[in-house]
A and B are shown apart, each in its own frame.
Chain A
Amino acid sequence: MSLSLLAAEGSGAGAALGPFWLTVALPLVGFAVNGLLALFKPQAKGLVSLVGPGVVLAAFGVAVLAFLRLQAPGAEPFGEVTLWHWMLAGDLHLDLAFRLDRLSAVLLLVVTGVGGLIHLFSIGYMKEDPGYARYFAYLNLFVAFMLILVLGASMPVLFIGWEGVGLCSYLLIGFWFDVEANANAGKKAFLMNRIGDFGFLVAMFIAWHAFGTLDFMEINELAPTRLEAGGGIVTAITLFMFLGCMGKSAQIPLYTWLPDAMAGPTPVSALIHAATMVTAGVYLVARSNVLFAMAPLTSTVVAGIGALTALFAATIGLRQNDIKKVLAYSTVSQLGYMFLAVGSGAYAAGIFHLVTHAFFKALLFLGSGSVIHAMHHAYHATHRHEDAQDMRNMGGLGRWMPWTRTLMWIATLAIAGIPFFAGFFSKDEILAAAFMRGHDARVYYVFYGFAAAAALVTAIYMARLMAMTFHGPNRTGEAEQGHLHEAPWIMTGPLAVLGVLSVVGSAINLPAFLGQHGWLEGWLEPVLEGARAFVTVEHPHGATEWILIGAAVAFGAVGLFLGYTRTMASSIVPARDAAESKGIARLLEKRYFVDEIYDAVLVRPIQWFSRVVLWKVVDQALVDGIAVRGSARLLEGFGWLGSRLQTGQVGLYLLLFVAGAVWVLGFMLGV
């Protein structure tokens, strides 16, 4: 194998940024070690605790070093490492190459940083699980694939990571695979993602025939000269690509796998199904920004789907009782915001929200993990079989878990868009961008309306979640209350770090009115400037700016107030005593019955068609029954021959064969 990493590192622009490929290699080593331990020595939990989080933290260190070099004055704009030739066939020249530029550097830091914290948290959370080593093996593998996704220099290399994270997601959703529902949820996630992957693949095929290359940087450079802006080809490429994003990032109509994905361990939900993997679609759009900017139709579709998903998923979040399901729909909704941003041409705003969301949503999920951990222990101690994730069984938990409560409140204020918390600036930028785009395309005003309404709903469901979980009377049970406790420091520690980030995270991109010029926007400028020839997003000024901000803050504040007071005023009964809800509440609780509709309209008809029409009728009745058996009957004599042969007379067959050969030769001689 012509694998010469050091030589590759020493050549080209990659040298200046250090061995950033180590960020992929380290978690892979972790996967190998933990994977072997899982198969052959699963009780070695000490070693696993060291290796699992260790490799990711080390990768974070490498990422920080690479970032520092990248931002040093006079540094190269990007670094590249070619590991080896992957596929050279015909005109296709595909290397296994990684590229670190300013966009991927941001993601690199988020994935390894937040990922490292979640690995640490997992030490506490998964401590008693017999599959401890297997868990960390999968989690390490996930980080490796996520970094391949982020660093991939071309679409197919990104696709390795893209599918790889899907694999890890599948394995981790079904981590407790001997419960059928978990195994189903994992399978569903993978299949829905594959619908998207079909789109991504077709996008690659079209792109290759249009450009002769699949390298992102080359495509972004070639697109303006090769393709006509707004033309059919660029629209087709981006639409198919966005189909891939819908699957990976859980947008309408491919979002129903994400709530089910909550069947996995909660830290997995935090890492994969909130902070990193599900944002890959947003990243892909930002990565291909020139293409999307050249396709206004696709961009409008992206923004529209994003805005619609933001509102639609948020309303479902209003009526979920499972604490993780609320957060899952919240994630779907927040991803919708990110797509609204990139669909409006505000690529930097989309990435900004991706980062802040990674902080506060990881915090919310890990916080819910602490809660579930405590609830589970309490029910375990008293041998009661109640749902440890149902908020109707919680209430007043703040008394026992003050740290978790405080930290989750910080995240709640952040997601609700309360000024100076992380989510405020990023969400505000998205709303402003959508509004400003309305000047030249009026439909964006509608998108703005959706997103603003979603902001209100978001604040309501989050306040409801906090109130039901941490405030009011406790509904867990008398006996259980003695067993409720705050999580150990290995779990609260990462929470505290994320809490700090949820407050100060927005510092990376403060708006102009605070005397800043948006560091992140400037930082990403070299990567995104190609798109500005086709789409520009004005920043609002003067009165418009203040009205937009005021409206956003008002929605958040009113929503929190409404959500909190209405929840506290309502009488909540534990899950087992609760009555069926009716009307709209029931519609929301049952998630608009979308799963049932998919099942009835798509899944079952396809299965029925395959089983009855294709297999029983076409295969067995038509081809086998009529064609094959019919012709076999014509060859009755041959059947007789067959029956003679079954008796084991090889000689007879050979005799016939020789006779046939002689016949052939005779035929030849006669010619």
Chain B
Amino acid sequence: MQAFLQSIGYQHWILNVLLLLPMAGVVLVLVAPERWARWLTLIVATAEFILALGLWWAFDSSTGGMQFTTSVPWLPEFGINYSIGLDGLSLFMILLATAMMPLLVWGSWFAIDTKLRGYYALLLALKTGMIGVFVSMDLFLFYCFWELLLIPMYFLIGTWGSANRLYAATKFVVYTFAGSVMMLVAIIAMVVLVGKGTGEYSFAYTHLVQNRDLLAPWAPYLFTAFALAFAVKVPIFPLHTWLPDAHVEAPTAGSVDLAVILLKMGTYGFLRFAIPFFPAFALSAPVAAVFVTLAVSGIIYAALVSMVQPDLKKLIAYSSVSHLGFVMLGIWGGTVESVQGAIMVMIAHGLSTGALFFLVGMLYERRHTRLLADYGGVARVAPLLGTAFVISAFASIGLPGLSGFVGEFLILLGSFGRYPIATGIATIVVVFAAAYLLRAVQQVFFNPLVSEENKAIHDATPRELAVLVPLIAAMVWMGLYPQPILRRTEAAARRYVETVTPYLTPGVRPPVTTAVGDQP
């Protein structure tokens, strides 16, 4: 497989194609007849996924550096390059984003029946933005993609959302825009500062990282600006209140994209930019204390609030806040275990929460309500949907053997040496996570089946199964045999840890006693 991919020059063109193909899709959808929109999008999305799949084999897991790079001058007079590439941190975000796309189109095939052209064009545009964010190696480019995402998301929620959509869409934009404007200012300031010091004004990521010492005097302000932009996206408690509204009002595809990819942009931003740019400040004891405290508060707080939600979609939205808190803890945990765990949770959360949002969408299409109280006993009439929901819920709860456990376990295990109390408190969430999701399972699928509307709910169609079965298979596979993923993310995680370790307060490390086993 590798040889074949090399022979077609895969590593040179793949990322460019992944960025361009959805844009070409946008054009196609807009010019073709409206009734073709669904199929065109599906074809483009599937092609995109098949192309991206090659990354799995072509990726070289022995290096923590950038691969599949392309760099050409874009606006050379301003030091701006079209510079892209990926490493173990971003590889799975790309795979997840491209894999979700065909599922999204399939999964909400009939959910949207107005303004199809606009809807599908925006979905495709969103995809380019997502991939762009994760592959950009130039900060100007990164910022463009970051903002580019805002527009399609705004319209997806604002146009195809439910009743309160305008409020949610505006809140989404206000929140995230407020954050990202600050980031733009910080980026420019960085270029200027580094430019003054080195004589080279450039937005290139590597240039800025290599000269990060020049930024140190301004680190508190610059880091804060970056952190704000990313913290809103994660979202970190207490900047999370846009998320439940955005999720509830968004159409299924928007919710899934939001949960699977958009939230990860925040944690990715910390891993890639905010911390490597300003490690001394970001990891200094007081700042680390703030972030670890916020992460753990968010984990517990969101789980508790999720537990009392009457609306199923809100319940899952709050659970996202809790899960992403784990990622933040892992990032500040600063060990290879915890950082690998953080990446694993980013992936696992995409699978299980993605599946749960799909399922909520499927229930909504049948019953036109998201209130838990309106449901009950649905497993009687829809055992397939029930089975899928229960498996996804347990994957999200972190049952070992399913996807959620691996990441959570690694984060907690890896962070414990440095933050034993905070990690211990975060671990308590295993109780609350079960509490909120099992409550949802019970109120929707168990309990007596009484209302006529619920009796009329029909089970999953083959089309819906085609969406759910791959997701569930991935959850089981990732839970039982995560090693292929861990292997591909290890070098990048190690590189990050080597960057941050000198600045972190030392923690307890386990003694090396066992002979290290043979690497697969």
Interface residues of A (CB under 8 A from B): 1-3, 38-39, 84-93, 95-96, 156, 159-160, 163-164, 167, 170, 174, 177-180, 183-184, 187, 190-191, 194-195, 197-198, 201-202, 204-206, 208-213, 215, 218, 222, 226, 606-607, 609-611, 614-615, 618-620, 622-624, 627-628, 631-632, 635, 638-639, 642, 645-646, 648, 650, 653-654, 657, 660-661, 664-665, 667-669, 671
Check if B486 is an interface residue, CB within 8 A of chain A: yes
In whole angstroms, what is the CA distance A602 to B496 when docked? 42
The smallest beta-carbon distance between A164 and chain B, in angstroms, is: 6
Residues from chain B with a CB closer than 8 A to the CB of A631 are 174, 178
Residues from chain B with a CB closer than 8 A to the CB of A609 are 304
Beyond A39-B383, A177-B377, A620-B241, 16 additional pairs, beta carbon < 8 A: A84-B483, A85-B520, A86-B481, A90-B414, A96-B480, A177-B442, A179-B448, A187-B439, A211-B513, A628-B174, A628-B175, A631-B174, A638-B177, A664-B188, A671-B195, A671-B201
- Number of B residues contacting the other chain (C-beta, 8 Å)? 94
Known A84-B481, A614-B305; judge A628-B430 contact (CB<8 A): no
Interface-side segment among B248-256, B365-373, B503-511: B503-511
Asked whether, in the complex, the Cβ of A191 is within 8 Å of the Cβ of B481, the reply is no
In whole angstroms, what is the CA distance A627 to B174 when docked? 12
Smallest CB-CB separation from B337: which chain A residue? A90
Smallest CB-CB separation from A668: which chain B residue? B78
The residues in B between 173 and 195 inclusive whose CB is less than 8 angstroms from any CB of A are 173-175, 177-178, 184, 188, 191-192, 195
In whole angstroms, what is the CA distance A179 to B177 when docked? 49
Check if B431 is an interface residue, CB within 8 A of chain A: yes
Check if B412 is an interface residue, CB within 8 A of chain A: yes
The smallest beta-carbon distance between B434 and chain A, in angstroms, is: 5
Check if B449 is an interface residue, CB within 8 A of chain A: yes
Smallest CB-CB separation from B447: which chain A residue? A180
Picked from A88, A187, A212, A614, the residue with its CB within 8 Å of the CB of B486 is: A88
Asked whether, in the complex, the Cβ of A177 is within 8 Å of the Cβ of B438, the reply is no
Residues from chain A with a CB closer than 8 A to the CB of B229 are none
Q: What are 26 contact pairs spanning A and B, CB under 8 A?
A: A87-B410, A88-B490, A89-B337, A89-B410, A89-B486, A91-B512, A93-B516, A160-B400, A177-B442, A177-B447, A178-B446, A178-B449, A201-B430, A205-B416, A213-B510, A226-B511, A607-B308, A610-B308, A615-B305, A620-B241, A623-B240, A642-B169, A642-B174, A645-B158, A646-B166, A650-B155
The smallest beta-carbon distance between A662 and chain B, in angstroms, is: 11
Asked whether, in the complex, the Cβ of B427 is within 8 Å of the Cβ of A198, the reply is yes
The residues in B between 386 and 419 inclusive whose CB is less than 8 angstroms from any CB of A are 387, 394, 399-401, 406, 409-410, 412-414, 416-417
The smallest beta-carbon distance between A634 and chain B, in angstroms, is: 10
In whole angstroms, what is the CA distance A609 to B448 when docked? 29
Residues from chain A with a CB closer than 8 A to the CB of B490 are 88-89
Asked whether, in the complex, the Cβ of B431 is within 8 Å of the Cβ of A95, the reply is no
Check if B135 is an interface residue, CB within 8 A of chain A: no
In whole angstroms, what is the CA distance A215 to B515 when docked? 13
Residues from chain B with a CB closer than 8 A to the CB of A1 are 481, 484
In whole angstroms, what is the CA distance A167 to B75 when docked? 58
Known A2-B520, A204-B413, A610-B304; judge A89-B399 contact (CB<8 A): no
Asked whether, in the complex, the Cβ of A213 is within 8 Å of the Cβ of B513, the reply is yes
Asked whether, in the complex, the Cβ of B510 is within 8 Å of the Cβ of A635, the reply is no
Asked whether, in the complex, the Cβ of A89 is within 8 Å of the Cβ of B336, the reply is yes
Smallest CB-CB separation from B314: which chain A residue? A615
Interface core residue of B155, B400, B401 (most chain A CB under 10 Å): B400
Residues from chain A with a CB closer than 8 A to the CB of B481 are 1, 3, 84, 86
Residues from chain B with a CB closer than 8 A to the CB of A668 are 78, 188, 191-192, 201
Asked whether, in the complex, the Cβ of A197 is within 8 Å of the Cβ of B445, the reply is no
Asked whether, in the complex, the Cβ of B400 is within 8 Å of the Cβ of A163, the reply is yes
Asked whether, in the complex, the Cβ of B413 is within 8 Å of the Cβ of A92, the reply is yes
In whole angstroms, what is the CA distance A638 to B181 when docked? 13
In whole angstroms, what is the CA distance A576 to B480 when docked? 52
Picked from A39, A164, A222, the residue with its CB within 8 Å of the CB of B400 is: A164
Residues from chain A with a CB closer than 8 A to the CB of B414 are 89-90, 92
Check if B199 is an interface residue, CB within 8 A of chain A: no
Asked whether, in the complex, the Cβ of B399 is within 8 Å of the Cβ of A164, the reply is yes
Smallest CB-CB separation from B390: which chain A residue? A171
Smallest CB-CB separation from B434: which chain A residue? A194
Check if B458 is an interface residue, CB within 8 A of chain A: no
Check if B224 is an interface residue, CB within 8 A of chain A: no
0/1 per residue, B420-449, Cβ < 8 Å to A?
100110011011001100110010011111
Asked whether, in the complex, the Cβ of B416 is within 8 Å of the Cβ of A209, the reply is yes
Asked whether, in the complex, the Cβ of A163 is within 8 Å of the Cβ of B384, the reply is no
Picked from B170, B412, B423, the residue with its CB within 8 Å of the CB of A639 is: B170
Interface core residue of A3, A89, A191 (most chain B CB under 10 Å): A89
Picked from A84, A201, A611, A664, the residue with its CB within 8 Å of the CB of B412 is: A201
Residues from chain A with a CB closer than 8 A to the CB of B177 are 638
The smallest beta-carbon distance between A546 and chain B, in angstroms, is: 49
Picked from B238, B442, B517, the residue with its CB within 8 Å of the CB of A88 is: B517
Residues from chain A with a CB closer than 8 A to the CB of B401 are 160, 163-164
Known A93-B517, A191-B435; judge A611-B511 contact (CB<8 A): no
In whole angstroms, what is the CA distance A85 to B144 when docked? 41
Asked whether, in the complex, the Cβ of B447 is within 8 Å of the Cβ of A178, the reply is yes
